[in-house]
Amino acid sequence: MVKEMCYKLNKSSMLYKRLMSKHLERLNITYSQLMVLRVVNQEPGITAKEILMQMDTDKATLSGVLSRLEKNSYINRVKNVKDKRIQNIYISKGSEHLCNEVSVIEKACISDLVDGISLGEAEQFLQILDRFIENQVNKIEQKF
Amino acid sequence: MVKEMCYKLNKSSMLYKRLMSKHLERLNITYSQLMVLRVVNQEPGITAKEILMQMDTDKATLSGVLSRLEKNSYINRVKNVKDKRIQNIYISKGSEHLCNEVSVIEKACISDLVDGISLGEAEQFLQILDRFIENQVNKIEQKF
DNA sequence: TATAATTATTTTGTATACTAATTATAGGGG
DNA sequence: CCCCTATAATTAGTATACAAAATAATTATA
């Protein structure tokens, strides 16, 4: 039962990424990059460390995403003068619109996904999922 | 609401992979490799194509996983004499035990994950998740 | 103040995930 | 038998995900 839950959670996650990727193709940016760009857009001058705390990814992964975002001129990184280890990250002029477009795309992706699922069911689903995730987090911390 | 579902499904999926990876480390095999090995174990002589149909991954990805499994002597690939495009895949002697150990590890990983979630809730959760996945599949097919 | 410990970030190396291109083979007309 | 198309699988290229090591700069401490 739990096993089935895990498998299907994985499957659904994979399908979501596939779906978003297809839709994002035309914007010439990836799903991960866009998620990061959004955070930067909301909090100009944010540091990599702070993004990490918000996003629950890996620092090495984020480093790569950021460098690709910069390479493609979506962001700028400015060395902080007070602490030279830190870089403050800003969204490039003209890239803010991308973040708005994402919302549209996201809506297109997720519309229809709740067909046949009532609001009450969705709420209950989320509630159980929250508990499940909490257990997962505990389990991971427990072991190491 | 749907957005939240998607995010949390992704998060849970990520956590599961992390958890399994940590547990599998000592066996010197990865989660994906083990999933494939299991299928091979259940159906000796299976082909890559057939594995694909069972597992919903990518053929290029599977090709890589198989070659790593072979490199590490977990499987053997034998060219089919009747159709030389095909390779029949067999689990190596002595690797079957790995598949049994997975079950143990899997149980260790997923025990506690349903703490605070009743059987009825789990069932309902799965039911909704199934519908959600079905919608995702439809949506993906719809677009392309 | 020289050294040790910490912190922020990048780099390296391996394993996916996926698209597109390629290779090798099969099988069906003509 | 040769040409054409379909099929099975690999390869190439890009982008994650993550562990571990390396860098570089800051702070704590003897």
Would you state the pLDDT for residue A25? 85
Distance B17 CA to D18 C1' (A): 11
Range 17-56 of A in CB contact (< 8 A) with B: 17-19, 22-23, 56
Domain B7-102 has CATH 3.40.50.300: no
Is there contact between A85 and strand D, defined as CB under 7 Å from any strand atom? yes
Which whole number is the average pLDDT over B39-45? 96
Instruction: Say whether B91 sits in a helix, a strand or coil.
Output: strand
Per run of 10 residues, the mean pLDDT along chain A (length 144 residues) is: 88 90 88 95 96 93 97 96 95 90 83 90 95 91 63
Residue B131 to residue A119, Cβ atoms within 8 A: no
| DSSP conformation letters of A66-98 | HHHHHHTTSEEEEE-SS-TT-EEEEEPTT-HHH
Task: Using a pLDDT cut of 90, give the percent of chain B over it.
Answer: 67
pLDDT digit string, tens, across residues A20-61: 888 888 888 999 999 999 999 999 999 999 999 999 899 999
Is there contact between B18 and strand D, defined as CB under 7 Å from any strand atom? yes
Element (H, E) at A44: none
Model confidence at B143, in pLDDT bands (50, 70, 90)? Answer: low
Q: Are strands B87-91 and B75-79 parallel, antiparallel or unpaired?
A: antiparallel
| DSSP conformation letters of B17-81 | HHHHHHHHGGGT--HHHHHHHHHHHHSTTB-HHHHHHHH---HHHHHHHHHHHHHTTSEEEEE-S
Give the pTM: 0.88
**Partner residue facing A113 (CB), from B2, B14, B119:** B2
Model confidence at B22, in pLDDT bands (50, 70, 90)? Answer: confident
Selecting from 2.60.40.1120, 1.10.10.10, 1.10.287.1260, 3.20.20.70, what CATH number does the domain A22-100 have? 1.10.10.10
Distance A38 CA to C20 C1' (A): 30
Which whole number is the average pLDDT over B58-69? 97
| Tokens read off for B14 | 């990520």
